[in-house]
Amino acid sequence: MNSLARERLNQHYCLNKRDCLELVYNAGIPLMIGVVSLWIAINQQKLDKSNHAQDIQLSNAERTQDRVIARLQRDEDRETARLQREEDKTMTRLQREEDQRTARLQREEDREAARLQRLEDKETVRLQRELDLKITIDKRIQDYELAELQRNMSEQQRAQELEIAHQNRINDLLLEDGRQKENVLLEYQDDLATLLLEYGSLFKDPKSKWWFILQMKTAAALRQLDPQRRTVLVNTLFDAGILDLERDRSQSLLYRTNLSGVEFGY
The per-residue pLDDT for 178 is 84
User: So what's the pLDDT on residue 68?
Assistant: 87
For residue 7, the model assigns a pLDDT of 57
Looking at residue 254, what DSSP letter applies? Answer: T
Residue 137 confidence (pLDDT)? 92
130 phi, psi to nearest 5 deg: -60, -40
Could you give the CA distance from residue 185 to residue 227 in angstroms, rounded to a whole number? 12
Find how far residue 28's CA is from the centre of its chain: 121
Helical axes 2-199 vs 209-224, angle rounded to 10°: 150
pLDDT of residue 16: 60
Cα atoms in the Cβ-side hemisphere of radius 13 Å centred on 249 = 1
Give CA–CA dist 45/37, Å, rounded: 12
- What integer pLDDT is reported at residue 151 of this predicted model? 86
Q: How many residues does the chain have?
A: 266
pLDDT given for residue 200 in this prediction: 67
Q: Where are the domains of the chain?
A: 200-251
Residue 210 to residue 205: CA distance in whole angstroms: 8
* Inter-residue contact 226 to 201 (CB < 8 Å): no
Which pLDDT tens digits describe the chain residue by residue (266 residues)? Answer: 556 555 554 555 454 666 666 666 676 777 778 778 888 888 888 887 877 888 788 888 888 888 888 888 888 888 888 898 888 888 888 988 999 999 999 999 999 999 999 999 999 999 999 999 999 998 899 888 888 888 888 888 888 888 888 888 888 888 888 888 889 888 888 888 887 787 766 666 666 777 777 778 888 888 888 888 888 888 887 777 777 655 656 666 676 676 777 777 65
